[in-house]
């Protein structure tokens, strides 16, 4: 079809038409250049040398995989004519594949093998062959994970490598994983392992301009990290969810450049009516009978608070960890981001203002300090991994408490202070800001958080016990403290009150807090788990 004036009709992206097709103005390009400059100090752009180093390492890994598949094919008595073309391939996914990885970031990769190579071969013979390689360090396998993985450092670059065995005799170099038919007759672990690549490829396919998408996503990821809302594990959003929100914004403004797109991102999502799902394309069913996100069919999907649906079959909600508190916090941040980008595009502020961190330790009157300690560094790393993955349980307990309006976990953990630990212990601390409801007759109410905290610590100990992780010296405790006691736990520069004027425009206080400045102060709160060691 040719439109009047000889133009081609624009390809239509997304499940609705665009909001605006306006092309960028000269000033939009200028603001975009300034945005790039503001991001540079944060190490989000990699230099040519590091980029080439990654490409070289991935090339070596790809050759290594082909070599291994040929060897194992020989062991399995394939005819020489077949061995010469069995192939094998490394695919990347995640931030590296999207082209938005930062300096020193790890690479998510997938090893794709033909049908005669088993998963057990990958975790045994590949693992053993890899061990001999002089450039490989810190090699470890996590075979029983939901998505099984081999982790290692290859010539200084951290890589997480998944495995998928396809129902094909050989794996050609030009294999495309986007078609749904390759999922037929596969083991569920292979389907899960392929999912990351298929989702990443689909996202790139569904945005109108990859360069504009990449720059906008870099800005939004940096903003989310700086504002303390980048963590899938803790109930905020992880990388793939931020990528899908940015991709949806790009579909709605297909010709806009990054400076405009960052502003429109905040405009769209500060007004989004959750739990309406964010979809990049109309979900299709592939008749492969895999479970997909569909609130009409699955009652549990109806409770998701902030659904963002992956575009590749089988469609999943990437944000099922989001809770009422984390959604409230993110919604406030979208609104604040909109007000800051409004100022920037009116020339009243610089881009650096968007990346200023919030003052978490000024924001609340009450906090819960969660402390995890262990007696050796190795035990400590293992222990904090488990504890962090369970913090959502504590936040959920607190949210269900009738006296609590909001429980805000800060994703950043802090080392234990000298005063609060034995000399030889390794300690990490997390902080959860709490807003208590306004209570009519506060004098007669005692809020007891002991039960919420106790049931959380019990859960963590029980799980650690179940997987035989619990070692002597592994401890977890949670204590309620008021803002004025934070100096006992944190370095002074984090808890010092900033100059007064910051509060005029400062970071968004949840509206409940703004409405009730003295709230919760007169209610005595008990709550600590020090006395509850198993």
Positions marked active-site: 95, 106, 108, 160, 221, 230
102 labelled ligand-binding: yes
203 labelled ligand-binding: no
Element of type H or E holding 91: strand 89-93
Q: Give the number of other CB atoms < 10 A from CB of residue 486.
A: 18
What is the DSSP annotation of 17-46? --S--PPPPHHHHHHHHHHHHHHGGGT-S-
107 labelled ligand-binding: yes
269 labelled ligand-binding: no
Are 290 and 183 spatial neighbours (Cβ–Cβ below 8 Å)? yes
CA 384 to centroid of chain Cα atoms: 18
221 labelled ligand-binding: yes
R_g of the chain computed on alpha carbons: 25
108 labelled ligand-binding: yes
240 labelled ligand-binding: yes
Q: Is 117 helix (H, G, I), strand (E, B) or coil?
A: coil
Element of type H or E holding 138: strand 136-142
User: What are phi and psi for residue 376, nearest 5 degrees?
Assistant: -130, 160
Are 388 and 318 spatial neighbours (Cβ–Cβ below 8 Å)? no
Residue spans of beta strands (DSSP E) within 304-389: 308-309, 366-374
260 labelled ligand-binding: no
Residue spans of beta strands (DSSP E) within 397-487: 404-409, 414-415, 426-436, 447-448, 475-482
37 labelled ligand-binding: no
Are 414 and 429 spatial neighbours (Cβ–Cβ below 8 Å)? yes
239 labelled ligand-binding: yes
Q: Is 357 helix (H, G, I), strand (E, B) or coil?
A: coil
CA dist 353 and 149 (Å) reads 39
Residues annotated in a binding site for Mg(2+): 106, 108, 160
> Binding site membership for ATP: which residues?
93-95, 102, 106-108, 160, 221, 230, 239-240
Specify binding-site residues. Answer: 93-95, 102, 106-108, 160, 221, 230, 239-240
């Amino acid at each position: 079809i040719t439109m009047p004036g000889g133009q081609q009709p624009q390809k239509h992206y997304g499940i609705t038409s665009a909001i605006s097709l306006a092309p960028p103005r000269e000033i939009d390009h200028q603001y975009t250049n300034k945005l790039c400059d503001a991001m540079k100090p944060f190490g989000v752009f990699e230099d040519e040398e590091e980029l080439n180093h990654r490409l070289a390492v991935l090339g070596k890994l790809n050759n290594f995989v082909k070599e291994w598949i040929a060897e194992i094919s020989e062991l399995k008595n394939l005819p020489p004519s077949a061995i010469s073309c069995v192939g094998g391939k490394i695919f990347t996914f995640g931030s590296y594949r999207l082209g938005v990885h930062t300096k020193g970031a790890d690479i998510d990769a997938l090893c794709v093998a033909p049908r005669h190579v088993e998963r057990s071969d990958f975790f045994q013979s590949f693992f053993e062959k890899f061990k001999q390689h002089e450039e490989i360090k810190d090699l470890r396998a996590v075979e029983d994970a939901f998505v099984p993985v081999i982790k290692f450092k290859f010539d200084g670059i951290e890589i997480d490598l998944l495995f998928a065995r396809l129902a094909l005799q050989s794996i050609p170099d030009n294999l495309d994983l986007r078609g749904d038919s390759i999922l037929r007759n596969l083991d569920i672990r292979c389907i899960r392992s392929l999912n990351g690549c298929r989702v990443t490829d689909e996202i790139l396919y569904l945005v109108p301009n990859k360069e504009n998408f990449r720059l906008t996503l870099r800005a939004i990821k940096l903003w989310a990290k700086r504002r303390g809302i980048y963590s899938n594990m803790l109930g905020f959003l992880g990388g793939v969810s931020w990528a899908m929100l940015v991709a949806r914004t790009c579909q709605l403004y297909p010709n806009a450049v990054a400076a405009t797109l960052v502003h429109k991102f905040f405009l769209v999502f500060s007004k989004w009516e959750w739990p309406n799902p964010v979809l990049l394309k109309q979900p299709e069913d592939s008749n492969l009978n895999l479970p997909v996100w569909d609130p009409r069919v699955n009652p549990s999907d109806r409770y998701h608070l902030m659904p963002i649906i992956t575009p590749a079959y089988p469609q999943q909600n990437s944000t099922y960890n989001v809770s009422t508190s984390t959604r409230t916090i993110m919604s406030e941040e979208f609104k604040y981001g909109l007000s800051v980008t409004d100022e920037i595009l009116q020339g009243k502020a610089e881009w650096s203002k968007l990346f200023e961190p919030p003052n978490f330790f000024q924001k609340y009157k009450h906090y819960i300090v969660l402390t995890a300690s262990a007696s050796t560094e190795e035990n400590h790393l293992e222990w904090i991994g488990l504890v962090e993955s369970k913090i959502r349980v504590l936040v959920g307990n607190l949210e269900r408490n009738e006296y609590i309006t909001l429980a805000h976990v800060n994703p950043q953990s802090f080392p234990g202070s000298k005063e609060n630990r034995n000399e030889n212990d390794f300690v990490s601390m997390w902080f959860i800001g709490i807003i208590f409801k306004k209570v009519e007759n506060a004098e007669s109410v005692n809020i007891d958080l002991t039960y919420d905290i106790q049931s959380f610590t019990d859960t963590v100990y029980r799980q650690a016990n179940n997987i035989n992780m619990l070692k002597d010296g592994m401890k977890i405790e949670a204590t309620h403290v008021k803002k004025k006691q934070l100096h006992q736990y944190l370095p002074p520069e984090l808890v010092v009150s900033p100059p007064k004027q910051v509060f005029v425009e400062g970071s968004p206080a949840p509206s409940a807090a703004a409405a009730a400045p003295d709230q919760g102060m007169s209610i005595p709160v008990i709550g600590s788990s020090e006395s509850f060691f198993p």
